[in-house]
Amino acid sequence: MLDIRRISSSRWWHKKKNWILLTIFLFLVFIRISKGSIYKDFYYFISKPFWPGQFQKEIILKSIDQESLIKLNLLKSDNNRLRKILSLQESSPDNISAAVISRKTGSWWRQILLNKGSKDGVEIGSTVVGPGGLLGRVKNTSLFTSSVTLLTSPESKVGVWVNRIQINGLLVGLGDDFPSLILYSKDADIKVGDFVSSSPASTLLPPNIPIGFVQSIDEPIKAKKIAKISLLAKPQVIDWVQILKTKI
């Protein structure tokens, strides 16, 4: 009688074990299909007690105010007629403030995770700025979070404007801290210290967002000039950002 009970108990345990393994397998498949959205939302809740505090937010907002002087100068030089002809996008006043809850700023991927997602109105492609200027664009969202591809990421390519010489260029991330500015003119009179902002002709970004300064200039390659850019916004130390709501 004892042997029968042991056999019955053993069968029951093996059945239960199989169901547990099947449940775990299906859960992992679901996470894979959802591209990690469940994981990101779970991380949102467990990291919530460690988000930056209100005091830090006030300091960041003061830093943002200091950008206004640069922005005013850029707005004066902006070509309004060109923007109207091309029907370019402009910033909406109801931007979204978000905290940085995870970052990968020293790896090849170069991205940050924010505590605002689709439920807050964040959309893929939205522009993200921090103290100093442009950080990057929203790559994907979950219900509670959004991932931002930084300007330093190899996935990043944005149109920029060199204010002193009034010329457009392309800013390309290389996976390090200094993205490359490509000017499609070997005769462009670019100099170290020249200021770079988002281009008035860009269809992806609002115009006149500060980006950085020319740090060094490479030798011309064929019909191109390439320069290294030192970014104003430092994602490795920024805790609060603004997600710009834009309309095209």
CATH number at residue 110: 2.40.10.340
Establish if 26 belongs to a structural domain: no
Spell out the alpha helix ranges (H) of the chain: 2-33, 37-46, 54-65, 68-77, 80-86
Residue ranges making up the domain that contains 130: 34-248
Residue 13 above 60 pLDDT?
A: no
pLDDT digits (tens, 9 = 90+) for 140-149: 999 999 999 9
Establish if 81 belongs to a structural domain: yes
Establish if 219 belongs to a structural domain: yes
Establish if 59 belongs to a structural domain: yes
Establish if 8 belongs to a structural domain: no
| Residue among 232, 231, 230, 227 nearest 216 (CA) | 227
Establish if 99 belongs to a structural domain: yes
pLDDT digits (tens, 9 = 90+) for 30-87: 665 555 566 677 667 777 666 665 555 665 666 666 666 677 667 666 655 455 444 4
- Please state the domain count of the chain: 1
Establish if 197 belongs to a structural domain: yes
Establish if 241 belongs to a structural domain: yes
